[in-house]
Each structure stands twice: as structure tokens, then as C-alpha cells.
A and B are shown apart, each in its own frame.
Chain A
């Protein structure tokens, strides 16, 4: 367990204003000044995380969500901000192998964590099978929810494989079957405003290797 982190103090009086939040959280260049022990605790923190197999050390305003850290500090803009309240799933990434809403967690809470974003799954010329299947089945229209849908879909197949039950699993003491009903229920945290759901399902089902 790490001890409370002691970092530099940076313009706390300015940070109190919520109006400047978006500006401040998006700026890594907050000039930090040294702080003597026992002084007031800082509103910025340094955090080190491994994103797509690469270690990054950043200094963030404590308010910075993991989503904003990825997009604004690391310039990994594949992960999208939809609702910013954990309702739409556009910001879904994998942290320590599990899918979460990156908008509802603070960057500072992920010291040392391994994070995989859509950029880490695959890239043009070397797509992840799920990315390729979304392209093949036209699993999107505007594409804004797509990175979240793909990260979630990859995780859903892993969760079924790991035997994690769902709301529609009829016998929760047995392994969950790999069915479209299971996939649909497990994808309910990812909203598609364009309504590309049937094509998204086709893509996931193809990767899952089932027509159940």
C-alpha cells in the first residue's frame, strides 16, 4: 500500500473555480512549485500507468478522469467521451484486464495499472479480429460509440469464457452459454445512437464463432 502521495502545490486558489476545470484538467503544463513537508496537500498528483504496453508518467489535477488523462494528456483520442456519467459506454477501456467506464474513475486512482485502449487492441493494417469484424459487418454509422463497443465486445467474450454469469443466464451455477441473448444483455452498457445494434451483434457473433 502506497503512502499518501505528496506532490507539488499548484494554484489551489484558481482550481477552486469549477469554471476553469476543463481548461486546467486538460493542461499538463500546470506550473508546479516545490512544497515543504507539512504544507497543505496538493490538488495535483503524479501518476504512472502502463497504457497499451507503454509506461507513462503524467501530472494531473486530481479531478482528471482516466478518460481525460488518456485523451488530453496522452493524446489517445480513440477512447470517446459521450455522456461522461457512465451511462453510454463510449469511454470503455480495459484496466487490469477488465472493462470499465473510464469517465467514472480518476486517473490518480490508477497508479501502476495496466490499461488497454482501442489503440492498444489493434491499428490500421493490423486490426484486432473484433475491429475487423466491425468493419466487415458495418457495425456503426457515425462511429462515435465504436471504440467503446469494440472494447466492451472483446471483454464480453472474455467474461463468458471466464464463466461469469449474467442476468439472462438461466442456471447461474453452470457455465454461461455463448448465445446472442447473453451477448446482448452483456452489451447493454454500450449505447449506439445510430442504432447499429444488429450489425454490432453480427460482428461480435462472428468473432465469438457462434450462430446460437
Chain B
């Protein structure tokens, strides 16, 4: 089944994959964070998603108008081309290569911004960095329909 990116169904598909891969995520350990994903489209149009992780599971993934009212730990924000490039790379390699991992995209160059208010909660990006990357890597075998 094809899923559109960006869409709630895309993140719900990752949530379902995560449930199917429960052993893998249980081995990685507790994964307690709520973070946002912002996809900036043409004309600065923003689509925001709130992802909630608890213990070993993704508890919810939903699209919302404004992330500020939701108080996420941090927000990963990039334009749609950057997200699509990352996902295509994940699909070609079965997981992100070093140039397309969240680590590289958020810390080198302008590819992806990390937005946060509270340094302690921002550090959850580091405390759960392997789980976060493995979550996005679950897109490797999704059939994704990219918005033009």
C-alpha cells in the first residue's frame, strides 16, 4: 500500500512497522520522548506532525496546525526536498547513510533545524538518538508517494 509523504498515514505506517519490530526496539531500550516534525513546502507552507514515543512504542502520530501549543521536546524542521532526499536515501540503502542520518542533517550545514526551548528536553535527541534514527529507517521498505 502506498503512503503519501508528508501525511499522517506515512507516520502511522512507521508506527505500525515499529510495532512489528518490537524486539528490535525493546533491545534498544526505553524511548520516552515527544517530538515534532515540520515539513516546509512551497511558499513556506508548513505541515506539522507530533510523534509520541513511550517505553518501546510509538503511541501516536498526528498532524497538527501548530506545534507550539503541543510543547514537544524538540522539533525537526526541514524543507520537503530535504525530507524526500533523506527518505529516498533510506530506501536505497535500507537505512540512512552517514550523509543522510538525522545526526548529520541536524548538525552539519543547513539541511535540518532542531528547534527547542528547554535544553534538558532537547537532549532527548541525544539520549534516544539510535532509536530515533532506527524509527526513520523503518521507511526503507514503505511504498512512498512523494508530493511534488
Asked if A pairs with B, the answer is: no
Q: Which residues of A contact B (CB under 8 A)?
A: none
